[in-house]
Amino acid sequence: MAENSVVVVGSINMDLVTRTSRMPAPGETILGTSFATTPGGKGSNQAIAAAKAGGDVAFVGAVGDDTFALELRQTLVDAEVDAEHLREVPGPSGVAAITVDDDGQNSIIVVAGANSHVHDLTESELAAIANADVLLCQLEIPIHTVTAAARHASTHDTLVMLNPSPAQTLPDDLVDAVDVLVVNETEERQLGEDTLSRVHHVVTTLGADGARYRGPTGERVRADALTVDAVDTTGAGDAFTGALAVAWNRGPQEALTFAGAAGALATTRPGAAAASPTRKEIDALLARQS
Ligand code: RIB
């Protein structure tokens, strides 16, 4: 079966990653163990994860005119994501200050920079959305742009998958256009049953407990987590979501299993975009665990 083509309309950041044995308490100064800059941003991470998982992927977003921009663009190109719709706007690129502790847990502060300038979608961007199998969005760019992209997709039979992160109240016209919500348990709680019940397909990631799915008639599917040695969970959710978009047409059970393997593998490596596995690696892990 041919994998889905995916257009991601979303964010791209440079991640400024500090590793530390434990998270500092408020007001406390502690010594870290390492520092690295590495490409990230939920939109770009998910686009790269989808491309590495075997999808035909295009990215719509913006970088600034700073020194990070070139590396961010190149990261998309290296992963064979179509970066034709990556705009350059005056000012800084998006950045994320990330702290990762010895258990692989993270905390993240995003400063949107160029991502906040993704406003009107061009004719060619709208055409790319209309021609794709899946539109995949997150909430690190202006929500009116996400809404416009989703509404356009839904009128052209492009499946709309939304990872509503960072969680915020969703406007009605966005909820009405979404086919698949991909949330973690915190986002699930924050959105509430009123919103979730209006979307046909809800996928909830459960960390070390795997993932669950609820379909349009209340049917449920569960995928257990695969056992791996986690070193950094930063890119896991994005690897899961990108792979899920690519495999969605296989049906919920297979798509969740495939995405779960991608997410698990992403925790075994440091970084966000760089951590997502290839299709071959995902298939090999699934073959070993079956
Ligand atoms: O989901 C992880 C991502 O969140 C990081 O790469 C960071 O840039 C933020 O967008």
Q: What domains sit in the chain, N to C, each tagged with a CATH number?
A: 5-10+41-93+115-288 (3.40.1190.20)
- Ligand 1: distance of its center to the CA of 17 in Å? 11
Ligand 1 pocket residue status of 202, Cβ below 6 Å: no
Task: Determine the pLDDT at residue 1.
Answer: 57
Query: Which ligand 1 atom lies nearest to the CA of residue 45?
Result: 6
Ligand 1 pocket residue status of 8, Cβ below 6 Å: no
Residue 105: band (very low, low, confident or very high) from pLDDT cuts 50, 70, 90: confident
Parallel/antiparallel/unpaired status of strands 134-137 and 159-162 = parallel
pLDDT above 90 (res 256):
yes
Amino acid at 118: V
Task: Determine the pLDDT at residue 49.
Answer: 98
Mean pLDDT value of segment 34-43: 97
Top-confidence residue, 4 or 257: 257
Query: Which ligand 1 atom lies nearest to the CA of residue 106?
Result: 2
- Ligand 1: distance of its center to the CA of 96 in Å? 7
pLDDT above 70 (res 234):
yes
Contact call for residues 161 and 180 (beta carbons, < 8 A): yes
Nearest to 104 by CA among 42, 39, 17, 198: 17
Annotate 51-90 with b (16+ C-beta within 10 A) or e (fewer): bbbbbbbbbbbbbbebebbeebbebbeebebbbebbeebe
pTM for the full predicted model = 0.97
pLDDT above 60 (res 252):
yes
Ligand 1 pocket residue status of 41, Cβ below 6 Å: yes
- Ligand 1: distance of its center to the CA of 219 in Å? 31
Ligand 1 pocket residue status of 108, Cβ below 6 Å: yes
Active site residue 238: yes
**Residue nearest ligand 1's atom 9 by CA:** 41
Ligand 1 pocket residue status of 272, Cβ below 6 Å: yes
Residue 97 phi/psi, 5-degree rounding, is: -90, 115
Parallel/antiparallel/unpaired status of strands 13-19 and 34-40 = antiparallel
Contact call for residues 129 and 161 (beta carbons, < 8 A): no
Q: What DSSP designation does 24 have?
A: P
